[in-house]
Amino acid sequence: RLKELEVAELGDSGVHIQMLAAPINPADINMIQGTYAILSSLPAVGGNEGVGEVLEVGRRVTSLKPGDWVIPATTGLGTWRTQGVFPEETLLKVPNDIPVLCAATLSVNPCTAYRMLADFETLAPGDSVIQNAANSGVGQAVIQIAKASGIKTINVVRDRPELPKLVERLMALGADHVITEEMLRKPEMKDIFKSTPKPRLALNCVGGKSTTEMLRHLQPKGTMVTYGGMAKQPVMVPVSAFIFRDLRLRGFWMTQWRKDHAQDQQSLTSMMDTLCQLIQRGQLTAPACTEVPLQDYKAALEAAMQPFVSSKQIL
């Protein structure tokens, strides 16, 4: 529920920020449901992502000043609020000349997309990637980041009433091919591989049958990275895929990457710089968003939990 709280004391190393925008992501809802790998100690403020403007800083704060824009450097910050005071090290400065919705949706999905494209296979211009749930926040970021690097994308989505509209939107972002899950089994897939090489990398956030079908199209020794399980079904892999094609199955969780690289500021900074430059050049845009005033959070949560959602709710 919405509550009025006193803003905490600033202290020497605190940063007082006013939140500008904060999205509702599936992981936020899973945390509230108690089914996520991280749970906040209660009482807690929801929201793991967003952008705020610095109002005031403690006298020991060196990296930030009033007027700067910041996003969370860690999970569990609690971004669904109007204001808050946070320790300096929990915040990352971002350029304040990028669109507010790009900044608000920067720390989870584009970072996940960037790391999965960079860390598992060495991809060169002309190579291809296949992904399911291509209309998700990560999926849209994968399309754009791949396009900027000259990598082709084969994008799988669920069949739905508004399919032509969705296909058009993903193609406008730079998708090379958009197909439905049913198409994965059909002989027409051969036509795609006349113009596009078979992918060495598959990105999976669905699980179940769609994932098994997607694996068929990977090159031998290719890698499938799983970062979500929207179908709530296990990943099933035929034994032959391991023996005769030596496929690799990996997992990725952005929160864990941040923990593993906590001492490695360089890799975080270079990723953020790259993503912000893509935004500034117009090569990476925010996913389709619906902006909702904070007091209407109930309606926003309802909308975020509907099936076939193509728009991210932003408080």
Residue 141: count of CB within 10 angstroms of its CB:
28
| Cα 55 to Cα 104: distance, rounded to the nearest angstrom | 17
| 3-class SS letters over 179-209 | EEHHHHHCCCHHHHHHHCCCCCEEEECCCCH
Greatest extent of the chain over all pairs of C-alpha atoms, in Å:
66
Question: Which residue has tokens 């690097």?
Answer: 149
Per-residue tokens: 236:
């099933």
- Tell me: cis bond preceding 43? Omega within 30 of 0 counts: yes
25: phi then psi, degrees, rounded to nearest 5 = -105, 160
- Indicate the residue type of 22: A
Q: On the CB side of 307, how many CA atoms lie within 13 Å of its CA?
A: 8
Alpha-carbon distances of 20 from 90, 260, 298, rounded to whole Å = 17, 29, 19
Residues known to be catalytic: 36
State how far the alpha carbon of 15 is from the alpha carbons of 5, 69, 87, 273, 289, in Å: 17, 11, 6, 22, 28
